[in-house]
Every structure is written in C-alpha cells, then in structure tokens.
Structure 1
Amino acid sequence: MRIIKEHSERRAEIVDAAEALFASKGYASTTISDILEALNIAKGTFYHYFASKEALMDAAIERYIDAEMIVAQAVADDPHISAHEKMFRILTGAGRDKKRGDRLEKEASAVGNADMHQRTMASIVLRLSPILEGIVRQGMREGSFRTEYPRECMEILLAASEFLLHGSAFAWGGAERLQKAKALAWMAEKALGAEQGRFSYLYKKYEGDGACCDQC
C-alpha cells in the first residue's frame, strides 16, 4: 500500500536524512543517490522538493537558524532575568545545540558556495538583531545599557562576529582570533554603554577557559 505523506512531513524527512548523512559522510562525500537510498524515494520526489544538494544544505541551515531563534526569543521573553543575563545566555549559546550548529557550519563551508554562506550570515543578523534590540532596551530601562542606536549596534556587532570570527573569509590563527574577539567585546561595551568587562565572555572561549557566568 502506497503511503502518501504531507508535503511538509516529506520535506522534513529529506532534510533529516541529509543532515544525518552529512554528519556521517561529510557534505562532499554525500550524493543525492545516498539520500534517495536512505529514504527509499525516487529521484523525481527529491527534485520536487529541492533543486539541488546545495539547496538541501541551505534548507538544513535555515531550519537550524529557525530553532536558534525560538530559543533566543524564549530567553528574551523571560521576565525574571536581567538584560545582561539574557544577552549572556544568547551570545554564549546557552540551551542551544552547539554540536549540531558547529557541524552544519563545517559542512556548509565544504559546499564552496560563498553566496550560501553570505545568506546564512545575513539571516542570522537580520533575525537575531531585533531580539537583541529588545534586550538592549530592557537594559536601558534597568540602567545597565546606554545607547542611542540599540538596533544598529546589535546589527553591526553581530555582523562583525559572524564575518570576522565565524566566517571563512579570514584564516585567523588562534592568537589573532582571540585578539579580534577581545576587540569585539570592547566595542560592545563602548557601543552599549556597558560596564567594562561585562562582555568578556565573548572572548573567554577563545582562551579555552569557557565563559564565566559571574560576568552577568
């Protein structure tokens, strides 16, 4: 008996299978035939949902970003924690699937598609900056932040972080990356009128010590 599945369910199954294969074999070594075999579907079914393997990777990344935004928004909406604590949790990835994110970032870099990487970074900046803007405004009410440009500051800081620290355009060594992260933390404190040292967690992970909750 033929099983007919909803469009969104079938699409999600294809993305799930692709993510698993990318994780086990790597993006470059995974073929569309591998995905078809894993799901026992016809080639026509695959191309009904995705134009290419790159489009499939794009969908996997976008789905991951969707999940990231849900977690970030939940933190931002919590009325019981301070703006500094919210910022700390979101920027350090508390409650997020970091391993999955790191894996997707690594495999995405193997695609060799600069346009895809640029779209990914732009999506993160455009979707996360409004959430962080709300947190900055909370901090302004609490007296811990002071800035005339809450949205723009977050857009610039996020763009710098994504491009300089997480992007593949620069082959920074460990010491260079740490220095950039320290500069980013300094700029965040200056731009948001925050107490010196409040954003040191942005570079702690590059020292290998992790982030320190007492900064918040």
Structure 2
Amino acid sequence: MAVPAAGPRRGRGRRPLAEVRADVLEAAAEVLMAHGVAGFTVEKVVVASGVSSATVYRHWPSRGALALDGFRHAVGDQVALDDTGDVRADLERFITAFIRLATQRPAGPVFAQLIGAAQTDAELAGQFEHHYFGPRRRDAFALLEKAKERGQLRAGADPGLLVDLIWGACYIRLLLPHLTDQLTEDFAPAVVDQALAGLLVPTAGEETAGKVTEP
C-alpha cells in the first residue's frame, strides 16, 4: 500500500466537525502507515492535519484510540461477514478477506502492532472491542446460530468455541513472526474445514453418497 507523505492541512476559520475529523483521520492513517505504532504520535498527527491538539484529544481520548481509528480509515471495511445461507462458504470468504488484509504491507504488520499495543493500553483495548473485535465476533455468532437454525450445523455446535478455533488459528499465525508466512489464502478453507469437521450436518446427497449399497 503506497502511503503519501503527510503534509499539513490548514483550514480557514471554523470548519464543520465532519471535515475536521476527516482531516485528522487522513493524517492519522498516513502517519501510522508510514511510521508504525512505535513511531505514531498525536503530535505528528497534529502537524500533518493542521488541527489543534486540544481538538484531537477532545475526540480521541488516547494515542491508541486515534491510531486504531487511523487504521480503520486507511483500510476501510475489507473484512465483512455476509450470510448467504452457506455457512462453510461464508466463513471461508470471511477468513480469506482477513488473510488478505493481514498480509498487506504496511497494513498487516501495523495491525499486529496495534494488537500488541492493546495488551498494555486499556483505552486501545476498549476501542478494539467496541469497534473491531466485538462487532465481528457478534456477526460470527449470529451467522453460526442461523446455520444451526437452518439445520446446517449440529444442535450441539458451540459458536463461541468455533469462533475461537477459527480466528485463534489466524491470529496465532499473524502474531508469531515465524508463522506469518504460513498465513496464506490456502489456510482459509483448511482451517474452516478443520473447525467444522463433525459439526456440519450432511446434505441428502452426501448421506446417499456415503451409504454402501448391498450386493
């Protein structure tokens, strides 16, 4: 992902809040992608955006919260979970989209850095839960519950455990440097198949194919 050099943005007079926020987010995205989490500071964003530090802190309570919003602004909503009625295919598409994001540069390494920073930044951790992990986890639960209602998954399937199995495997490969090169698009169908093994209810055609015809 090419990142243009951050430059100051100067407004004239009082500007609409939406315009000010857009300038801050654009500057935050540029600074974050250019310098990573370690080099990300509110001061750099203030200089690049031309917005006062008081205004920035009024809307973003911490450096981490601003960095996460800058990341979301930079990458958009590349990882969305749609329910088409085919739970296996929907999960594969979702995991493939996540892997594509995680292996982009500089977005993937920056995402891993943000997750690491959230372990010691309570505000950033809260923002992650509110704006990223929480919504996606709820969407995944809803998808799996609907699959159970449709009879695609066995009644005893645990959505929480399934989510942890699938996403946990992805995050391990993202966060452990010696495993990052194994986070490929081929991993998506493999991890979904392993997680759903024994939980998918066979279709009528699959049940027929599995029967042995007596001579």
Decide: shared fold, TM above 0.5.
yes
Query: 1:125 and 1:47, CA in 2 relative to 1: closer, same or farther beyond 3 A?
Result: closer
Pair 1:114 & 2:119 matched = yes
Contact 1:61–1:120 under 8 Å retained in 2: no
Structure 2: gaps spanning 5 or more residues: 1-11, 203-215
Q: Which secondary structure state, in structure 2, belongs to the residue aligned with residue 149 of structure 1?
A: coil
Q: Which range moved further: 52-61 or 181-190?
A: 181-190
Aligned length: 184
One-letter amino acid of the counterpart of residue 3, structure 1: R
Q: Residue 7 of structure 2 aligns with which residue?
A: none
Contact 2:28–2:45 under 8 Å retained in 1: yes
Deviation readout 1:83-139 (Å, 9 max, x if unpaired): 322222112118x75637525314426x74424575577565532233233433454
> Separation in 1 of the partners of 2:178 and 2:149?
38
Contact 1:36–1:46 under 8 Å retained in 2: yes
- Please, which of 140, 152, 155 is the counterpart of residue 160 of structure 2? 152
Q: 1 or 2, which has the higher helix percentage?
A: 1
- % identity of equivalent residues: 13
Deviation (angstroms), 1:39: 1.6
- Please, which of 11, 18, 24 is the counterpart of residue 21 of structure 2? 11
Contact 2:95–2:188 under 8 Å retained in 1: no
Structure 1: gaps spanning 5 or more residues: 196-216
One-letter amino acid of the counterpart of residue 27, structure 1: V
Contact 2:25–2:70 under 8 Å retained in 1: yes
> Separation in 2 of the partners of 1:112 and 1:183?
30
Q: Residue 41 of structure 1 aligns with which residue?
A: 51
| 1:49-198 mapped onto 2 (5 Å cutoff) | 49-61=59-71, 67-68=77-78, 71-72=80-81, 75-76=82-83, 78=84, 82-93=86-97, 99=104, 101-108=107-114, 112-116=117-121, 122=129, 124-140=132-148, 144-158=152-166, 160-161=168-169, 163-166=171-174, 168=175, 170=176, 172-173=178-179, 184-185=191-192, 187-190=194-197, 192-193=199-200
Normalization by structure 1: what TM-score? Answer: 0.60
One-letter amino acid of the counterpart of residue 155, structure 1: V
Deviation readout 1:167-211 (Å, 9 max, x if unpaired): x3x454469879x9999556512363367xxxxxxxxxxxxxxxx
> Separation in 1 of the partners of 2:57 and 2:127?
22
Normalization by structure 2: what TM-score? Answer: 0.60
Query: 1:183 and 1:118, CA in 2 relative to 1: closer, same or farther beyond 3 A?
Result: farther
Deviation (angstroms), 1:157: 2.3
